[in-house]
Each structure stands twice: as structure tokens, then as C-alpha cells.
Structure 1
Amino acid sequence: MTRNLSSPVEQVARLIQGFSQEQKIRLLQLVPDLQALSVKNVDIPAEQIKLMAYFQTKMEQLLQRTPLQANDIFVGDLTVAEFFTLPEEAQDRAWQDAHRQFETYTLADERPVQADALPS
């Protein structure tokens, strides 16, 4: 199978991208042959296969992480359980306080730089 799409196919693809989900479903009903197609049937360049494998590995690593538990520190000094027992206003304040502390911490190391400064 060739990788070069003909101009009409590219035009149809752009048109379909603008379809709503209902329109795409209707298209599949009108052209049932499309349902039998798979990306596996398409010649994918090796570069794209490597990229897909890279991101699949990254996603698998993220999925292997254990979710936070009730007694894990979540925001500020609060655990997950403590945070979610607070009223919404208190949760908002906790987030704002944590954000303010983060900004203070990160901005504390910033220094003015001369226009003619060179990296070390």
C-alpha cells in the first residue's frame, strides 16, 4: 500500500475531520467497508512506529504508578483524606496557599540579569 494520499483522499479526510461524532457514525453506516479497515492495514513509516512505541511505553509507566492513598500528603501538610473532608472554600484556600508557597519558593532563586550577560 502506498503512503502518498491522492489529493481527493486528502480533501475527503479534511472534510471528515470536521464532522461531528454523529456524522462520523452515519458515515460508517453508509460505508460499512470502512469498519473493516485497521491501521494495521496501513504502511506506517518506521519513524512513526518508533514514536508510537515511545509514547505507549510512557503511558504504560504512568499506569503502573499507584494512586495516592488516604494517608498520603496531598496539598500543603494535608493528607488526601484530610483535604477531601474540608469544605470547598477551605479546599480552595489550601490550593491557593500551596500555589503561593510554590511561587515564593521558585521566584526566590530568580535574579536580575544584565543585558550583556553570558551563560556560565
Structure 2
Amino acid sequence: MGALVPELLRAPKAEAIRVNVKEAKRFVQEKLAKMADKYPPLSEDDEFLGGLTVKEYFSLPEEERERIWEKAHSMSIDDFEEYEP
């Protein structure tokens, strides 16, 4: 019996990607500079999560930070809209 997709039976060809490190660094620096204009870094006194400042949040034990993070980023099934085709 033949395979539906014979290409999947063969190992993929390994292709080398050549990256000019200087160009890559320049590209990343340009993108970061553009982002910095739009999104300045938070300061210690900026509000962060759970009504806490950045400094307060990162002063908490890791377990407490994880709990606050999960609470802020969790979604329930009710958060999704019902799909109607």
C-alpha cells in the first residue's frame, strides 16, 4: 500500500541558513530602537499586575508572582464567544 504523502516517509533535507551576525545585530537594534520610542520601559513605581507596582510585584516570592500572573492571564470558557456558522 502506498503512502498518502510519500514525502513524509523521507527525512527532510537539512538546509544550512547563513546569517551575517553583524546584519542580524543591526536589524535587532533597529527594531528595539523603534519599540523603545513607542513603549518606554516600565519604572519601579509603574502599576504592573494585581494593583501592585513593578517593584512590589518582583519583591514577592516566586510562587506568589506566579499566582498573580495566572490570575491576571487566565480565561474561563465564558470569556469565549459562541461560534455561529
TM-score scaled by length of structure 1: 0.40
Equivalent residues in 2 for 1:30-69 (5 A)?
56=30, 58-64=31-37, 65-69=39-43
Distance in 2, Cα, partners of 1:85 & 1:98: 18
Structure 1 ranges of 4+ moved more than 6 A? none
Give CA-to-partner distance per residue, 1:69-94, whole Å, 9 cap, x none. Answer: 11111122111011011111111111
SS at match of 2:48: strand
Residue 91 of structure 1 corresponds to: 65
Give CA-to-partner distance per residue, 1:41-89, whole Å, 9 cap, x none. Answer: xxxxxxxxxxx7xxx4x54321323210111111221110110111111
Which structure 1 segments of 5+ residues have no match? 1-12, 18-37, 40-51
Return the structure number with greater helix share.
1
Query: How large is the RMSD of aligned CA atoms in angstroms?
Result: 3.2
Which structure 2 segments of 5+ residues have no match? 1-14
Return the structure number with greater strand share.
1
Quick one: percent identity of the two aligned structures?
A: 34
Equivalent residues in 2 for 1:77-88 (5 A)?
77-88=51-62
Distance in 2, Cα, partners of 1:109 & 1:76: 23
Residue 111 of structure 1 corresponds to: 82
Give the residue type in structure 2 aligned to 1:86: L
Rg: which structure is higher? 1
TM-score scaled by length of structure 2: 0.53
Q: Shift of residue 107 of structure 1?
A: 4.9
